[in-house]
Amino acid sequence: MESQLPAEFMVNVDHERCRRCKRCVINCSFSAIEFKDKVTPNHRLCVACHRCATFCPEGAITITENPLEYKYGYNWTPEIRKNILKQAESGGIILTGMGNPRPYPIYWDHMLIDACQVTNPSIDPLREPMELRTYLGAKPECVEFDSEHISLETELAPQVKLDIPVVFAAMSYGAISLNAHKALAMAAKRMGTLMNTGEGGLHEELASYTDRIIVQVASGRFGVTSKYLNNSALVEIKIGQGAKPGIGGHLPGEKVGEDISKTRMIPVGTDALSPAPHHDIYSIEDLSQLIYAIKETTDYKKPVSVKIAAVHNVAAIASGIVRAGADIVMIDGFRGGTGAAPMVIRDHVGIPIELALAAVDERLRQEGIRNRASILVGGSIRQSADVVKAIALGADACVIGTASLIAMGCRVCQKCYTGNCAWGIATQKPELVRRLNPEIAADRLCNLLTAWGHEIQEVLGSLGINAIESLRGSRERLRGVGLPQEALDILGIKHAGIGQ
């Protein structure tokens, strides 16, 4: 069928400046630029990944949205019409990548942080020690000491130390490249934080980083062995993902090459299907059974995390997870990213992480079990301010996926599922993977975390506190702006302008 879809973007080449070096042709992994006497774009294939524009030595290329795309309509938006055309031509579920781009309210941007003035002095982080360290794992009800020898008598559950409360999100080898995985592992080790295998198993080249790696157990159980579980910082059971709550994942067979086959322990070329639920988990009791199967296998030395998507009933579910024996609850908000998800799910299912976090923390406190698990949150943590606000709302630490990809070079073109990532991140094609230098990408990730660390210290200083743990759950230090009363109640914060 002839496609009626107009081009989304225009590739504008300034032929006066172009010196016909063909670098753009070589760099375009979507075949949108050819060379026919001169650089000739095929606008329809352009995804606006900006690879050509970035690498053009003359700055002769600009990418713009197609101005004549569709006639304006507030209701029948260009995107909706484009999707209808696509489905009329194919009969398929529309697949997409990365996080929800729709204009839902972003509650982070409606919360403001307090600061000290006159009566309670702020702290200068340039002069004073300022602690960002925190520990993930279950905490005891109380601690007992042997006062004679000054030693701890309480037996502590296993803890994982984080030097900065920002962890790299679960992204599987398969969804992203081995070079991207290596960069994340190197940066996690250097910065004293963690990376997460996602559900694609652990590549043997990452063996030296395992004390900084979260290993995931998902419904497909790809690459899960007792060795995999024991070679880890902690183990995470993946129940859900913010971008696609309640549905599974399909890594298409064409991406399952020799190396991925080895890591996932499945034959080359077969689809890696993760069923929507774990078929051995239909209840909190079943979840508890898997948590303790993992604890038995790891001799109770690894904290076990359970990752869920933020959904309507998230607080009650999180309470069940904690009671099931999880040491960490990871909540992924509906703006979280994905390598591939049906657009209908990504854009319309789940709830914002800010509200889910506030509801979960409040519920666990009410039930007196907040100490029994750490709370990790993700689903579009974009900047250090989001981290500070999340911790003030009650999180122990945050996870970043998209932000870490952007740091490595991602331009958020949302075509991860095509496997054509021009930046060598979301691809398995050797010629594209090569484009991402893991050493340089790791440096960029470390720089990002270092910068965020400094910024968080600045904010803590202005709040007059010298440790991130003093901020946790301190909602009194947040104020809402432009939020309805109901949202303020759920977030547990006052409106700006109200004092103590």
Partner 1 sequence: MRIDAKGMHYRPMNKMIRDAVAAGEKEFELDNIGGQRYIGGGLNDSVKITINGTPGNDLGAFMNGPRIVINANAQDGIANTMNAGEIIVHGSVGDIIGYGMRGGKLYIKGDAGYRVGIHMKEYKKQVPVIIAGGTAGDFFGEYMAGGIMILLGMNGKSPIVGDYVGTGMHGGVIYIRGKVNPYSLGKEVNCLELNEEDKKLIGSYLKEYCEHFGFDLVEVMSGNFTKLVPLSHRPYGNLYVY
Residue 304 interacts with partner 1 (CB under 8 A): yes or no: no
**Spatial strand order in the sheet of 195-196:** 166-168, 397-400, 374-378, 328-332, 304-309, 234-238, 213-217, 195-196
> Strand 111-113 and strand 478-480: pairing?
antiparallel
Q: Which helix (H) or strand (E) holds 25?
A: helix 23-27
Distance CA 309, CA 186 (A): 28
Residue 42 interacts with partner 1 (CB under 8 A): yes or no: no
Query: What contacts 127, CB < 8 A, 6 or more positions away?
Result: none
Binding mask 236-265 for partner 1 (x = CB under 8 A): --------------x-xx-------x---x
Q: Which is nearer to partner 1, 96 or 319 (CB)?
A: 96
Q: Which helix (H) or strand (E) holds 344?
A: helix 343-348
Instruction: Determine how many CB atoms are found less than 10 A away from the CB of residue 67.
Output: 6
Kindly report each contact of residues 180-183 with a partner whose C-beta sits within 8 Å and lies 24 or more positions away, as own/partner. 180/405, 180/408, 180/424, 180/425, 180/426, 180/436, 180/438, 180/441, 181/206, 182/206, 182/438, 182/442, 183/408, 183/436, 183/438, 183/439, 183/441, 183/442, 183/445
Among 28, 195, 266, 445, binds partner 1 (CB under 8 A): 266
Nearest distance in Å: CB 408, partner 1: 23
Binding mask 93-132 for partner 1 (x = CB under 8 A): xxx-------------------------------------
Binding mask 49-88 for partner 1 (x = CB under 8 A): -------------------------------------xx-
Residue 55 CB-half CA count within 13 A: 17
Distance CA 81, CA 3 (A): 13
Write the DSSP symbol of residue 231: S
Residue 368 interacts with partner 1 (CB under 8 A): yes or no: no
Nearest distance in Å: CB 223, partner 1: 9
Binding mask 168-207 for partner 1 (x = CB under 8 A): ----------------------------------------
Residue 293 interacts with partner 1 (CB under 8 A): yes or no: yes
Nearest distance in Å: CB 15, partner 1: 31
Q: Which part of the chain contacts partner 1 (CB under 8 A), choosing from 14-22, 173-181, 273-281, 436-444? A: 273-281
- In the numeric block, the tokens 């210290």 are attached to 457
Residue 279 interacts with partner 1 (CB under 8 A): yes or no: yes
Among 42, 66, 159, 289, binds partner 1 (CB under 8 A): 289
Judged by the rule CB under 8 A, the positions of this chain that interact with partner 1 are: 86-87, 89-95, 217, 219-221, 224-227, 229-230, 250, 252-253, 261, 265-267, 269-271, 273, 275, 279-280, 289-290, 292-294, 296-299, 342, 417-418
